[in-house]
Amino acid sequence: MRLLNRVRSWWRGIFQRSLVQNEMEAELQFHVEARTEELVQSGVPRAEALRRARLEFGGMEGAKEECLEARGASCLDNLMQDLRYGARTMMRAPGFTTMAVLALALGIGANTAIFSVVNAVLLRPLPYDQPDKLVQLWHVPPQAAFPGIAEFPVSPANFLDWRSQTQSFEGMSAYGRGSYTLTGNGEPETFRMIAVTDGMFSILHARPLLGRGFVSGEDEPGHEQEVVLSYGVWRRRFAGNPDIVGKNITLNARAFTVIGVMGPDFEFPISTDPSLQAQMWKPLAWSDQDRAVRDNHNYAVVARLKPGVAVKQAQNELDGISNRLAQEYPSENRGWGAIAVPLRDDLVGDVRPALLILLGAVVLVLLIACANVANLVLVKALTRRKEQAVRVALGATRRRLLQQALAETLLLAFAGGALGLVFAHYGVILIVKFLAQRLPRSSEISLDGWVLAFTAGISLLAGFAAGLAPAFRAAKTDVNEALKQGLGRATSDSGGSRTRDLLVVSEVALSLMLLIGAGLLIRSLWMLHQVNPGFEAAQVVTMEVAVPIGKFTEPAQQIGYFNRVLDRIRTLPGVQAAGLIDSLPLTDNGSMQPIAVEGRPPVAMADMPEVDVRLISPGYLGAMHLPLLEGRGVDDSDVAGRPGAVLISESMAKLFWPNEGAIGKRLTLYFFPDQPRVVVGIVGDVKLYAVNETQRKATLYFPMAQFTAPRGEAFQSFGMNLAVRTGAAPVNMASTVGLAIHEVDPGIPVQNVHTMDEMISESLSPQRFTMLLLGAFAGLALLLAVVGIYSVTSYSVSRRTNEMGIRVALGASRTDVLMLVIRHGMMLALIGSVIGIAGALLLSRVMRSQLFGVQPTDPATFVAGACGLMIVVLAASYIPARRAMRVDPMVALRYE
Amino acid sequence: MSKQLDLLQGTLDMLILKATSLGPLHGYGILLRIGQISKDRLEIQQGSLYPALYRLEHQGWITSGWGESENKRRAKYYRLTAAGKRRLQAETEKWNRMTDVIAGILETRPEEV
C-alpha cells in the first residue's frame, strides 16, 4: 500500500507537476488567509493582519521547494538538474564535447550498422509461419568420392522414401529450379521458375493472395501445366489483373494455367541474391520413371517438423532410414546419409562467422571509444577538482557526485548515439550496396525498432562504461587535499594517472587486436588474388545463351544452333576465340558424375569415383587460355557418331593414372553409358566453384557435340555459357556479341553478361568486404587510441611543466626531457601490445574459417601490427614531448 | 508573554500525527490544534509545517483531500491512515522510553555516579 502511495506521489510529482503546484499554492494561500482572518477578528486592521500573517509564515518559496522535495520528486529533479548542468558544461567546452561525442558516435554508429545487418540476417525470424520448424534436408554423400562435400542434392526415389517413412515431419517437399520464357504477352522474358512437389505451400503455411496453391495430387504428370505467379511478376507483367486466375499464359511455347498469385512478402526459396528471387512456381511432375531414379541427385528438399519434434529427433530418424535404404539399395545408396539443417542455418550458415567477427570488432571499437572518453573526462575532471571539493564541503554526498559525473557521460553517450544513428544510416546503405548480392535477406536490413532499442541500450552502456572511472574518482574527492592545492597543478595525482595509464594500455591492446585481425584478412585477400584460377581471365567476356527448355526436341538441333552462334561470333572483328561451356568456373553450378574406368573391376554405382563433368565446345580452351598439357583439345571432328572423346584435368590424370600415361585410356560416364570415351587430352586444373577452394577438382570435359540425352531419357534443350576472348576491352564487345546471338535466333535470350575478371572479383567480394570493414574498424580503433595517447601525454606534459623546468635548470639536457616523456608513452604502448598480442591470438583463432593461405598466428602480421602501432604511438607522444623539451626553465618555475 | 519552547528536531512529525489522530484537519487547523493542546507553549515554524505534511503524506501515514472549511472556503484536509496510527503508537512508545531514560540520566546526582 505504502509503495503504491509513493509511486502515485512520484507519478504526480513528475507528470502532474503543475497540478501539484497549483494545489500547494492554494493550500498555502488558504493558510495565510485563515491566519489573517483570525487576526482581523482579534481586532488587527486587515492590511496589518495580512502583513503579520505573511511574516509569521516565513519564506513562502522556500517552503514550496521543501514541500516538493518532500514528495520524493527530488531524485528526478536532481537528475534533471545534473543533466542541465552537464549540458551547460558541455557547451562551455566545445572542443572536448566534439571529441567525446564524435568518438562515441563512431563507436555506436559502427555497432548500430553491424547490428542492423546481424538483426536482419541472423536474428529476425524467417518470413514464414513458425519458421523454427522448417528444415532443409540434404544427402550426405560418401566422403571417399566427394571429398569435402557435406551436403548434396537429393534423388527422387530417396526423397519419396524419406517422405513416406518418416514420422517426424508434418510435410516434406522437393523442388528444383529452371527458367521459363514467357511469350505472347509483350516482350519475351525469361523467369526463374521453381518446380515443387505438392504440399510446398502448405508446408510453408503460405496462402496465396489470389487463387490457390497446388493441392495434393497436382504433382502427377498431366497437371504440370499450372503455374503460381509471384506478386512482382503479376504486378509488372499482368498489370495486377485480379482476373488472371484461370487464364492461360504461354511459357516455353506451352500453355500454362495461372492458378494463383502469391502475396508481396512471399519468397521461396530465399535467395542469397535478391535479384535472383523465384518468380513462378509450377508442379514438379515426376513420371513413374522419374520417381524410380535413385542415383541422380538433383533436388533440394524442405520439410516442416511436427509440433514438439526436435531437429535432433528428426535427424535420428533420417539416419535410421538412410541405413535401411543403403542396405536395401546398396548399389545406389551405400555410403549416402541424410542431414536435416534448420532452414535459417542453411541460409545464413556461411555468413554467420564473418558477421559475428565484425560484431565483435565493433564492440572492441566501442570499448576503445569509451576508454577514450573516460580519459578525456578524467583529464577534464582534474581541472574541476576544486569545484568538486567545494561541493563536498558544502554537503554534497558521494552518491550525488557520482550521479553528477555519470549524468555527464550519459549525456555525451546519448548525443553520440544520436549522431551514431546518422552514421549507421549511411553505413547500412553502403553495406547493402556492396553486399546485396552475397548476403541473404539483405533487402530486409534497416534501422528498425529493434535496432533503435539496441542503439539506446549500447548508448546507455557506453555512458556507464565511460563514466564509471571518472565518477568514482570524483566521488573519492578529498576535500582537504583538493582545497589545499590551489588549482591542483603540479601536485601528485598518482591515483588518477594510474587510471589514465590503464585506459591507454587497454586502448592500445584493443586496437592492436583489431589491427592484427584486419592484417590477417588483408593477407588472406592478397593470397586469394595470387591464386591462379587455371585460366586467363583478362579480355574474356561471358554470357549465358539461355535456350529455353523445349526449344529444341533433338540434340542435333541444339548443336546446330550453337555451332551457328559460334560461327557467327568468330567472324566478328576483335574476337580472338570463342567457346561454350555448360557451367562457367567460379559459379555455384556444376555437375558431379560417377565414372567407370575400363579395365578396372566393375563396382556398384555407389562405389564409383565421382568427377566434375563439364560440357564444352571447340574453342573453349582457346577462349579461356586453359593450358593443354598433353594430347589434343576438343575439335570439330568430335561429333555424334565418332568415337567418344574426353579431356581430363591434370589432377584427374594423377588421381586415376598416377604411374602411367592417361592419353588413350577409356572410361564410361555412368549417366551416358552409350559408349566408352577415350581420353584424348590433359588440361590444367581450374578453380571450379570458388577461388578459395583448396581441393583440386578432378574434372572431365566432354564435347557438346557428343551429348545425347542421359540413359535414353527424352532430350530437353538447355542453355550454355559463352566465353569470348577479345582484343578490345571485353565490356565493349558484350553488346556486339549479344546482338550477333540475337541475329541467329531472336527467340533465345542472352543474360548474365560478365567479364571473367568481374566474376573473379565478384567471387572474392565477401572476403573483400569483410576485410574492408574490419580494416576500417581497425583504422578507427587506431585513430581513437592515438587520440587517447596524445591527450594523455599532452596532459601529463602540461602538468609536469614545473618539474621539467627544474630538471632543465638542474642540468638535464633537452634530449633527457624528450626521452622522459616518450619513454612513458612507449612503456604504455609496450604493455598494451603484449596484452593485445595475447588477445589477437584468441581472436585469430575464431577467425580461422575466414583466412586463406595464412596461419592465424602468422608472425609477420603480428610483428607488423605491433610495430606499426608502436610507431604511431611514438608519433603521438613525440609531439607533446617536443613541447616539454622546449620548456623554458624560467617560465616553468615561475608558473606556480 | 510566556516563554515558548523551540521544537525538538524530529518531533513535529509526531505532533502532526497526534493532531490528525483526533480528526481530519487542514494545515492551519493542525497548527491551531497543536497550539491548543500545548497551550501555546511550543513555537512551530509555520513554513516548516507544510514540508512535514507532504513528507508524511508521501510516506503514507496521512492522506489528504479537499473539503470545505468552517468559513465555507475550500481547504485541504489531512486524515490519519491506519499505517499512520501504528506509526503514532510506535513513536509515542519510543518517545516515552526516551524521555524516561534522558530524565533518569539528568536526575542523577553526582554521588550516584
First to last CA, chain B: 39
CB B19 within 8 A of CB B61: no
Peptide bond between residue A710 and the one before it cis (omega within 30 degrees of 0): no
- Smallest Cβ–Cβ distance between A2 and the set B27, B75, B83 belongs to B83
Q: Give the residue from chain B lying closest to A4, CA to CA.
A: B60
Across residues A165-193, what is the average pLDDT? Answer: 87
Q: Please tell me which of the candidates A34, A58, A72 has its beta carbon nearest to residue B47.
A: A58
A381: pLDDT confidence band, cut at 50, 70 and 90?
confident
Out of A317-321, A611-615, A708-712, A752-756, least confident range: A708-712
Asked whether the beta carbons of residue B54 and residue A33 sit closer than 8 angstroms, the reply is no
Residue A206: which of A131, A286, A311, A306 has the closest Cα? Answer: A131
Alpha helices in A582-659 (DSSP H): 620-624, 650-656
Whole-angstrom Cα distance, residue A506 to residue A490?
Answer: 26
Question: Where is average pLDDT lowest: A108-112, A210-214, A255-259, A717-721?
Answer: A210-214
Count of positions (residues) in chain B: 113
Q: Cell 500573517 sits at which residue?
A: A53
> Given pLDDT bands bounded at 50, 70 and 90, which one contains residue A569?
very high
Mean pLDDT score across all residues of chain A? 86
> How much is the pLDDT for A835?
94
Q: Is A57 in contact with B46 (Cβ distance < 8 A)?
A: yes
- Phi and psi at residue B4, to the nearest 5°: -95, 145
Residue A12 has pLDDT above 80, yes or no: no
Structure confidence at residue A221 (pLDDT): 76
pLDDT class of A492 with cuts at 50, 70, 90: very low
Q: What pLDDT is stored for residue A839 in this prediction?
A: 92
The answer, yes or no, to whether ipTM is higher than 0.90 is no
Q: How much is the CA Rg of chain B, to the nearest whole Å?
A: 17
Question: Which one of A167-181, A401-415, A620-634 scores highest in mean pLDDT?
Answer: A620-634
Interchain proximity B51–A69, CB inside 8 Å: yes
SS3 state at A526: helix
In the predicted structure, residue A889 carries a pLDDT above the cut 80: no
Q: Which residues contact A691 (CB under 8 A, 6 or more apart)?
A: A528, A531, A533, A586, A760, A763, A764
* pLDDT tens digits along A459-474: 999 888 888 887 777 7
Q: What is the pLDDT of residue A797?
A: 80
- Greatest alpha-carbon span in chain B: 63
* Chain A interface, best mutation among B25, B54, B77, by max A CB count within 10 A: B54
Q: Please tell me the distance from the alpha carbon of residue A849 to that of residue A297, in angstroms, as a whole number.
A: 28
pLDDT at A321 (0 to 100): 94
**Best residue in A30, A41, A56 to probe B by mutation, most B CBs within 10 Å?**
A30
Q: Which three cell numbers stand for residue A571?
A: 567472324
Residue A383 CB partners (closer than 8 Å, separation 6+): A487, A488
For the ranges A154-158, A225-229, A351-355, A496-500, the lowest mean pLDDT is seen at A496-500
Read off the pLDDT of residues B32-74 as tens digits, 9 standing for 90 and up. 888 888 888 877 778 788 888 888 888 888 988 888 887 788 8
Q: What's the pTM value of the predicted model, to 2 decimals?
A: 0.76
pLDDT band at residue B5 using 50, 70 and 90 as cut-offs: low
Distance from CA of A71 to the nearest CA of B (A): 6
Distance CA A151, CA A818 (A): 63
Sequence-ordered list of residues with C-beta below 8 angstroms from that of A843, at least 6 positions apart, any chain: A360, A513, A516, A517
Mean pLDDT of A510-515: 92
Distance of alpha carbon A740 from alpha carbon A734, whole angstroms: 10
Residue-wise pLDDT for A637-683, tens only, equals 998 888 999 999 999 999 999 988 999 999 999 988 888 999 999 99
pLDDT for A632:
94
Report the pLDDT value the prediction gives residue A490, as an integer from 0 to 100.
41
A67 chain-B contacts, CB cut-off 8 A? 50-51, 53-54
Pairwise CA distance, residues A163 & A170, whole Å:
10
In the predicted structure, residue A272 carries a pLDDT above the cut 90: no
pLDDT in tens, A816-864: 888 888 888 888 889 999 999 999 999 888 888 888 889 999 999 999 9
Instruction: Write out pLDDT tens, residues A739-759.
Output: 999 999 988 888 889 999 988
**From the candidates A3, A4, A5, which should be mutated to test the interface with B, based on the most B CB atoms within 10 A?**
A5
SS3 assignment, position B38: coil
Q: Is the pLDDT of residue A355 over 60?
A: yes
Separation of alpha carbons A235 and A52, rounded Å: 85
Domains parsed from chain B with CATH numbers: 12-112 (1.10.10.10)
Cα A43 to Cα A143: distance, rounded to the nearest angstrom:
113
Do A695 and A148 contact (CB within 8 A), yes or no?
Answer: yes
